Structure 1
């Protein structure tokens, strides 16, 4: 591993634990066991390290979305959840970005510009996933085109804010944390899933037993029971 790699690795750990603003170049140099002069030789400032880590994160983020959208026309609930589980796991790996997003964009305006310019790309990728679910018969096709837009806005908002909420309120293992907020993300879709979609969601949840809260299964069953032709059935 090169010195630059060690610097990025140590910085990511410190930024995640201590926050971007409170971490100093001196701390990074101490962890890597190099002089501050050597650190500046590789990265002129802490901000340059932060930008490099963001660029690294964003490449991985875009790769996940592009791989997902290129797979097929029809998308299952399992496909979508697997994609967003990867994204939430990536968010957690670079958690300082979302936790410190406001202060980070003030220190590094290029990050704000990237997110603003790429916002429609992220909306389009999520719209493709929802359209794929509808094509597979697992999501109702809305009468109003504005419905998908509203769902997309809510899911993007949750996706960008969950780590700040988690940092204050959640106590538990990282995997539980990711699953807990993935649940909240899926709940935004729950009222619009078809019976096959609800069945597929329940199957996915059962395959990952122990990682979802009991209330999650109950909510799936509740929405299934509301379908008139399935009042006496259960999944």
Structure 2
């Protein structure tokens, strides 16, 4: 594995375990058993690493949301795939508010990402309506409410739930999944409705 890739993977692990603020480039270099100079050959500072990781997270998210791919999975599997990504890059969802206030470039990337996710959400919703997995929402205000609620919850749930947990961990992800399932359940149809109701009763 190339050093540049190792830097990113090590950074993800350290950021997830200790938080972005507490981790320095020296910590990353030490965890990799390389010199700080070797790290700086690839990245000038921690901010560059964060930007690169955000690009990676965004790309992986868009891959999960590709209409052709989504067509091959059930809505619940789609939810699971998204929450796997939330867990993999959980430091972003825990700290994004503070990170984007500190870094103008990251803030701009975040806004662009959210705008793209809103568009992808509409595309996916229309696809699921055509496939009989969701009911058609005629009221545009209600449609906007559902989309914004989903994005607001999915981008902040880790910070919210973990602040109330004595020992936060993977179970936070399961709570997030149930909240998304419950939010979407009234708008599902056919087999998807049955699947969601079964999950919520379990």
How big is the shift at 1:173?
A: 5.4
Distance 2:168 2:17 in 1: 16
Between the two proteins, the alignment pairs up a number of residues equal to: 201
SS of equivalent to 1:100: helix
Gap change, CA 1:197 and 1:43, over 3 Å in 2 = closer
Structure whose CA Rg is larger: 1
Structure 2: give runs of 5+ residues left out of the alignment: none
Given that residues 100 and 107 in structure 2 are in contact (C-alpha distance below 8 angstroms), is that contact kept between their aligned partners in structure 1?
yes
- Residue of structure 2 in register with 1:163 after alignment: 158
Counterparts of 1:113-132 in structure 2, within 5 Å, are 113-132=108-127
How big is the shift at 1:194?
A: 4.0
Given that residues 4 and 42 in structure 2 are in contact (C-alpha distance below 8 angstroms), is that contact kept between their aligned partners in structure 1?
yes
Given that residues 29 and 39 in structure 1 are in contact (C-alpha distance below 8 angstroms), is that contact kept between their aligned partners in structure 2?
yes
Gap change, CA 1:123 and 1:5, over 3 Å in 2 = same
RMSD: 2.3
Given that residues 158 and 172 in structure 2 are in contact (C-alpha distance below 8 angstroms), is that contact kept between their aligned partners in structure 1?
no
Counterparts of 1:129-140 in structure 2, within 5 Å, are 129-140=124-135
- Residue of structure 1 in register with 2:17 after alignment: 17
SS of equivalent to 1:189: helix
Distance 1:166 1:120 in 2: 25
For 1:144-187, what per-residue CA distance to the aligned partner results, in whole angstroms no more than 9, with x for missing partners? 1221111011001011001112322344652x432221110111
Distance 1:192 1:102 in 2: 30
Distance 1:46 1:172 in 2: 26
Distance 2:110 2:131 in 1: 31
Gap change, CA 1:195 and 1:64, over 3 Å in 2 = closer
Distance 2:69 2:43 in 1: 38
- Residue of structure 2 in register with 1:231 after alignment: none
Match 1:70 to one of 68, 72, 76: 68
Gap change, CA 1:202 and 1:46, over 3 Å in 2 = same
Given that residues 202 and 217 in structure 1 are in contact (C-alpha distance below 8 angstroms), is that contact kept between their aligned partners in structure 2?
yes
- Residue of structure 2 in register with 1:37 after alignment: 37
- Residue of structure 2 in register with 1:50 after alignment: 50
How big is the shift at 1:9?
A: 1.7
